[in-house]
Amino acid sequence: MRKNHSLGHEEESEEINLTPMLDVVFIMLIFFIVTATFIKEAGIQVDRPDTVTADTQDDASILIAISSNDEIWVDRKERAPQELRGVIERLHAENPKGSIVIQADEESTNEKLVLVLAAAKAAGVTNVAIASDN
């Protein structure tokens, strides 16, 4: 009888405890989620004009898209021209070192592009670029 009792004890000690391994996996998961950079999108696909020369913009924190029918999209939402300055100020406050990239469709009017540029200037953002295809 004593022998059976000791066998039961050995079976319990042979089990592998996965709790520490799961703790490490969850900590690594949290680390990667916190340190990951997320891709920002304006909200619509635009047909950008072709250019001869272009520079890459690495620190773009605000993407603004102007569609072919002159809709302005920021942060995956269509925005009215009146609320554009406030949205730019809020997004720029989140990342003051970032820049604005405007993705204007080939068919959009210059009036909307100038309106977005004026809103960016009024919001205090000086680093503004216009996206194009090479």
Tens of pLDDT, residues 4-46: 555 555 555 677 888 888 999 999 998 888 777 665 666 666 6
The CA distances from residue 6 to 15, 16, 17, in Å, are: 15, 19, 20
Cβ burial of 119 (10 Å; 0-12, 13-18, 19+) is buried
Query: What's the pTM value of the predicted model, to 2 decimals?
Result: 0.60
29-67 burial by CB neighbour count: b if 16+ within 10 A, else e? eeeeeeeeeeeeebbbebebeeeeeeeeeeebbbbbbbb
Query: What does the pLDDT look like over 91-109, one tens digit per residue?
Result: 888 888 888 888 888 888 8
CATH 3.30.420.270 fits 60-130, yes or no: yes
Q: Residue ranges per domain, the chain? A: 2-35, 60-130
